[in-house]
Structure 1
């Protein structure tokens, strides 16, 4: 498989920080792969994402060693503006990324700065609005929209650049269940398009549905990585570092501790219903 992002031996400490935010990070993300990143607050998840787009160390300075190659570009040798043409990134707070007085102009902002023809800009706006499901909100002021809709506008702005890679840093952290579902509908479409996606997310139930692989971080290090089911079924590991496993997985873990035999731990409610129904039938 062809790498989309390669991180080799990266250690980074922000200026005036007492200790590194990243310590000896090695990670390869392959094209078309969906990677979930989990870990407690302060684990280094956001900093890791910022290295992928070159914001660290090109804009946010500090002591940086190692190498990051994203979409074929060594991040220390290219401007963030150049990397952002291949990599879209959205942050926890969508309002911090929204600048324009209506949705259409917000989405057009990036392509216009590339000097693209009007027809191409229009095509990209239409494409991005369709993916996120906001075709009827072209003229709406982003700040008059719900949290989930604002996050979708931020995603659409990235999509208008036609990125090969999308990096989503806790896009649902400030959203209610309805807003969360809106964002994940968009994520589902991005995955169906075959985009390479890196998502930091504390809602492990949601990651269980989409992720091909999970990276576990703690105190600036990658402490575990592997297939989604393997990682999210390791209840003791996740609890140890303060990450909540999927609720269905936690219930299954407690049942197993009480002597109920389970071939595997469910990750979703649907899986739990199926597995627990078989247990009841067996009795």
Structure 2
């Protein structure tokens, strides 16, 4: 797969702070892949997301070094309007994503389209389609400020996706959702991947990461500790001090210690269930 994003020697520190939040970060994102970013709190995950979509330095100032290149164009050469059609961000706190200028969810979803001059008929059609996808059709006429956290999270994701970006960055996009709502969102994310969208996701749920990510980046103390295929990252026990590991992987290791499983690293639910069933059959023999 070809690279759609190139991050070249990026470092950043906020104004008035000497410590770099990110230090000499370099990596590529492949077109059509899901890249998960994991790590401890304050390891630089959210700052990286803001740099990728241009919020830093367009809106958030500080000392930024290096380049981010999207489809052969430096993001520093693009306006925020131009960036919005290439890459979108869903904030960790969805309330920060509301425009606070609209009185209905319908207008909130349409806001970005209006800014780039989408014709009204097309705008209305895209709003209806996105509302159906996000399961917010029944609240289109509600005031965004009167919604629950989970509803706002869906509206925030819809406001991002309605711009039809090639890349979407999701910073803890399920933080306000219950488990069922989270599963629905991740089902949508899988659909987006099948359509060829490139997705960068920050998540603390290692089971979800293992299930959905093609590759995983581990951030620690402002630097990349590892960036590899998902199974390679979770098999590296030296990283567990800085990043979590799926429960299924721990179960697989326990089966190995009991001499009931001998095979590749287990990271996903379905393969772990198969291994457990096989171990029970082995025990009964």
Q: TM-score, normalised by structure 1?
A: 0.92
State the 1:23 CA deviation: 1.1
Residue aligning to 1:240: 241
1:204 to 200, 203, 206: 206
Partner SS state of residue 37, structure 1: strand
Q: Does the C-alpha gap of structure 1 residues 151 and 71 become closer, same or farther in structure 2, counting only changes over 3 Å?
A: farther
Farther-moved stretch of structure 1 (213-222 vs 166-175): 166-175
Distance 1:271 1:213 in 2: 18
Partner SS state of residue 60, structure 2: coil
Q: Does the C-alpha gap of structure 1 residues 121 and 69 become closer, same or farther in structure 2, counting only changes over 3 Å?
A: same
Alignment of 1:1-283 (within 5 A): 1-98=1-98, 99=100, 100-234=102-236, 236-241=237-242, 243-257=243-257, 260-283=260-283
State the 1:86 CA deviation: 1.4
Distance 1:4 1:124 in 2: 25
**Does the Cα contact within 8 Å between 1:71 and 1:164 map onto a contact in 2?**
no
1:148-202, Cα deviation, whole Å (9 max, x unpaired): 3321211111112111111100112343312322321221222222111000111
Partner SS state of residue 43, structure 2: coil
Alignment size in residue pairs: 281
**Does the Cα contact within 8 Å between 1:131 and 1:189 map onto a contact in 2?**
no
**Does the Cα contact within 8 Å between 1:248 and 1:269 map onto a contact in 2?**
yes
Distance 2:277 2:80 in 1: 52
State the 1:259 CA deviation: 5.1
State the 1:63 CA deviation: 1.7
Farther-moved stretch of structure 1 (23-32 vs 97-106): 97-106
State the 1:252 CA deviation: 2.1
Farther-moved stretch of structure 1 (189-198 vs 247-256): 247-256
Distance 2:262 2:59 in 1: 50
Q: TM-score, normalised by structure 2?
A: 0.91
Runs of 5+ unmatched residues, structure 1: none
Cα-Cα RMSD: 1.9
State the 1:53 CA deviation: 1.1
